[in-house]
A and B are shown apart, each in its own frame.
Chain A
């Protein structure tokens, strides 16, 4: 019998089912004998027993399957055969994993010399800890089940107990959000601090030369300014020049002029535009837009025009953001009270005067909030820039030249064969931290503006 977590999980689910049936039956019997009414219905007694059977055993199973491999390895290392292992890190772990593979039946025979003698100790240790684990788990399950089973009485509040557990579960689910946030902040901070031990934060934030090399950190090659500029140029300037006017005017037209039928058709089309995956936009930018722009640039005589231009990535990113801007603007304009619009029209203003001089100024805070959210989304966008903007860190204002962005560099630094602790991979986390902080600030400010604006009209 081997220690197979999935099979064991099934086993305790099965035990839980038996517990459920037993608890239900017993509660009905107890009530019948005492001739009284149960406080909780039989099925809740069933659930109570099942949970006591299942939960402790499941928790043990989870803990055991994460610590058992280490204990097995310890046992093997203590064995006689292991004394002949090379002390060297890589070779040692390769031999160990080879022996483990054979012992656990993942591979038919050893591939590395020297792993052979370790197979038996591995098999023995696996067997031993497997048996211990299974026995302990079953004991826990039975103990829990018996404990719950003996508590069944007509006046026992099984429903309240079960519901308290359900509530605990709900709370636990909502804690996942906090855990994720903490996970992001801690993992980014932790790796960034390690990076900043190698390279000073000032260099990352204010240096102007970016060219990280493999191996030891070289002073002066981690200047983030070109990346930040590239990010701003593509995400906050070019993309917004495309997205804001088109998105705003689309929203104005749809809310103020378009017939309901048109609205009904155009909105889903915009939703489709928003639903196209970014990798498709990236491919579109790289395949179609970038070469066209380069030809255009060459035609009008711009030097060093690149096929990986900031403009191509920015324009396509702008297109991607249009639906986002338009729906935010749509909401803001709709939130302006009808009375304001009527007031202006009643004075004899034309619709466009009303829109430009009354509606848009009134909706401006909401629109601004929406634009900030759009910027935060654009600077965090990855695939379009990876595929279309290139990877060379140039500090240039020429939109036809190639620039790179924070996200593109994160991808570049972390793909390929890197040691996880090299300055290059750590730099990716530091860039991630910068990106996270900036987008977080943008979001907080934007959400605050939008909220204030909504309150003003409620």
Chain B
């Protein structure tokens, strides 16, 4: 287990003293955290603790909510992502996102995956796009299941396949970070296992941040775990440490199932 030994000397993303407000209500309170380049980071915590909110502030998806306001500093490779000169569209191409419920476009499987590369101009020719789509689907472990029906609608797939299609869609634009917002909460156990397997395989290629309230899942897939509670970051460290030897009382209570 060499990866766990990596310290986060060279973080992909950093957040310093981040607060998120929805109107008057404060959803995130002074969170400071680094996300490692080759690691899977899990955000855990009881529902409503702000972990999804925080996740959405990492690629500025909160911009779509008119009343949301973010203070503090979040950087990607040292660049402040809330700086006015930061182009939000390019940011999201670099920090991809997979949502709670699979949300394929009602287009063909091919077009679902090809959409991102097309709008970002990553594929000058159709042949290039074919390559990108195939590579993304292979990486998402979906290629063998769909290679003969790339022109069928993405919505015709099963739930688990849809979610892997969404992951393929995110991979296709070659992001640096992939944010996953409870990607398995709408899936059955077998589909969940496949997604987790996929996360294992993607590790090292992308920085992955996954929000989950399934603690076993966090323990299985991540190397770093952050525990959120009531909008604050309670504890952050190596996953093994958090689960075997939490430093904070609240973390211990949550992990042992005292509340949540």
Contact = CB atoms under 8 A, between A and B. Distances in A.
A contacts B directly in the complex (CB < 8 Å)? yes
Contact of A157 (B87, B119, B120, B121): B87
A41 B121 CA distance: 6
Interface string A135-174: 0000000000000000000000101100000000000000
A39 B87 contact: yes
B121 A160 contact: no
Nearest to A163: B89
A39 B89 CA distance: 10
Nearest to A41: B121
Nearest to B118: A41
A109 B87 CA distance: 65
A39 B91 CA distance: 12
A19 B87 CA distance: 26
A38 B120 CA distance: 10
A159 B121 CA distance: 12
Interface string B180-205: 00000000000000000000000000
Interface string B73-96: 000000000000001011000000
A345 to B, nearest CB: 38
Nearest to A159: B89
A41 B87 CA distance: 14
A425 B87 CA distance: 58
Contacts of A38: 121
Interface string A13-57: 000000000000000000000000011011000000000000000
Interface residues of A, number: 7
A153 to B, nearest CB: 15
Nearest to A44: B121
B90 to A, nearest CB: 8
B83 to A, nearest CB: 14
A157 B87 CA distance: 9
Interface string B9-40: 00000000000000000000000000000000
B12 to A, nearest CB: 20
B176 to A, nearest CB: 15
A159 B90 CA distance: 11
Interface string B152-177: 00000000000000000000000000
A38 B90 CA distance: 11
A247 B26 CA distance: 52
A431 to B, nearest CB: 45
A161 to B, nearest CB: 12
A37 to B, nearest CB: 9
A160 B86 CA distance: 12
B116 to A, nearest CB: 13
A39 B93 CA distance: 12
A158 to B, nearest CB: 12
Contacts of B121: 38, 41-42
Nearest to B121: A41
A414 B87 CA distance: 58
B89 to A, nearest CB: 8
Contacts of A42: 121
Contacts of A157: 87
Contacts of B119: 41
Nearest to A37: B121
A77 to B, nearest CB: 57
A127 B119 CA distance: 48
Nearest to B90: A39
Contacts of B90: 39
Contacts of A159: 89
B10 to A, nearest CB: 23
A72 to B, nearest CB: 49
A267 B252 CA distance: 63
Nearest to A157: B87
Contacts of B120: 41
A93 B90 CA distance: 63
A159 B87 CA distance: 11
A42 B124 CA distance: 11
A25 to B, nearest CB: 14
A166 to B, nearest CB: 14
A42 B119 CA distance: 11
Nearest to B120: A41
A41 B89 CA distance: 12
Interface in B118-147: 119-121
A38 B122 CA distance: 11
A160 B84 CA distance: 13
Interface string B199-221: 00000000000000000000000
A310 to B, nearest CB: 54
Nearest to A38: B121
A34 to B, nearest CB: 16
B8 to A, nearest CB: 28
A42 B120 CA distance: 11
A328 B120 CA distance: 48
A160 B87 CA distance: 9
Contacts of B89: 159
A41 B122 CA distance: 10
A41 B119 CA distance: 8
B93 to A, nearest CB: 11
Contacts of A39: 87, 90
Contacts of A160: 87
A18 to B, nearest CB: 22
10 contacts: A38-B121, A39-B87, A39-B90, A41-B119, A41-B120, A41-B121, A42-B121, A157-B87, A159-B89, A160-B87
Given A38-B121, A39-B87, A41-B120, 7 more contacts: A39-B90, A41-B119, A41-B121, A42-B121, A157-B87, A159-B89, A160-B87
Interface of B: 87, 89-90, 119-121
List the 10 closest A-B pairs by CB distance, nearest first: A41-B121, A157-B87, A39-B87, A160-B87, A41-B120, A42-B121, A38-B121, A159-B89, A39-B90, A41-B119
